Chain A
Amino acid sequence: MSNILELNKGESLSVTLNPVSRMDLIKYAGASGDFNPIHTIDEEAEKAGLPGIIAHGMWTMGNLAKLFTPYFEEGFIQDYQIRFSGMVFLSDVITLKAELQNKTVEYMDFDVKAINQKGREVIKGKVRFAIY
């Protein structure tokens, strides 16, 4: 897609990420300042009752926004709303998706989500891309 404005209702932007690695989460912890150890240290995750470390919800939300980054000359993300609905574990393969729901001369509304390799939604929400 060279121009987001050419998307039609029902069409999508999508990308599948490399399997989630511990280094991804260590880097996000450092860059964001969120050092909650359930995201990086196995023992702490287990103490919290988890089967293993889980990704920061904001790591997944941050990743999902990149579907729109190539189009910041055409518009910008005016609204970005996410509900965290599932956990992301090490080695999960996450697919990011934005499906165009509605389009006017002023904005484009997308349903956005990230799903894991089992097809389960881990985050879900909406983006309003305002057009210049």
Chain B
Amino acid sequence: MYKDLIGKKSSKVKSTIERGMVTRFAESIGDLNPIYVDEEVGKKSRYGGNIAPPTFPRVLSSGVIEGLKLPKKGLIHGEQNYHYKRPLLVGEDIYSYSVIEDYYEKQGSNGLMGFLSTKRYGEDANGELVFTEESIIIITETVRKAMKV
């Protein structure tokens, strides 16, 4: 049922890389480095301001992909891949959208495992790509069956 969704895109959503959210996120991963949180250090850095940790995009909202229904429970996070052209800057606006990249099934010890790959593209105000974020989630046969009920 996910195969038909390959190539489907969400609408674009604007998010601001908010200072407070970046600080809280950096603290939650035990990484309160001044490059993330200290304004003076940011100003003097090569970035001219603070930056966000590489896994921060997980926090950003992205548009809804029409027709994509995911189970509320039982999803397994298989892989996560980031690619950056440059770090995210605190205070900038990012326009992001998601695309269903792929869906395939593999026989596993617990039946047919489904692998769903979704990729988020984050662009700056000029439409330049800043990052991509790919998530692969694993949907087991049991979870897929439970959804159909």
Using a CB–CB cutoff of 8 Å, the interface residues on chain A facing chain B are 17, 24, 27-28, 30-34, 48, 57-59, 61-63, 65-66, 69-70, 72-73, 76-84, 132
Contacts and interface: CB of A to CB of B under 8 A. Distances in A.
Interface stretch (B45-53, B90-98, B116-124): B45-53
Contact of A48 (B28, B36, B74, B86): B74
Contacts of B54: 65, 77, 80
Contacts, number: 97
Nearest to A126: B81
Interface residues of B, number: 33
Interface of B: 21, 24-25, 27-31, 33, 35-36, 45-47, 51, 53-55, 58-59, 73-74, 76-84, 86-87
A34 B45 CA distance: 31
- Looking at chain B's contact residues, the main secondary structure is mixed
Contacts of A65: 29, 31, 53-55
A72 B87 contact: yes
Given A69-B35, A72-B45, A83 B25 contact: no
A66 B79 CA distance: 19
B59 A31 contact: yes
B78 A83 contact: yes
B77 A17 contact: no
B29 A70 contact: no
Contact of B84 (A57, A69, A78): A78
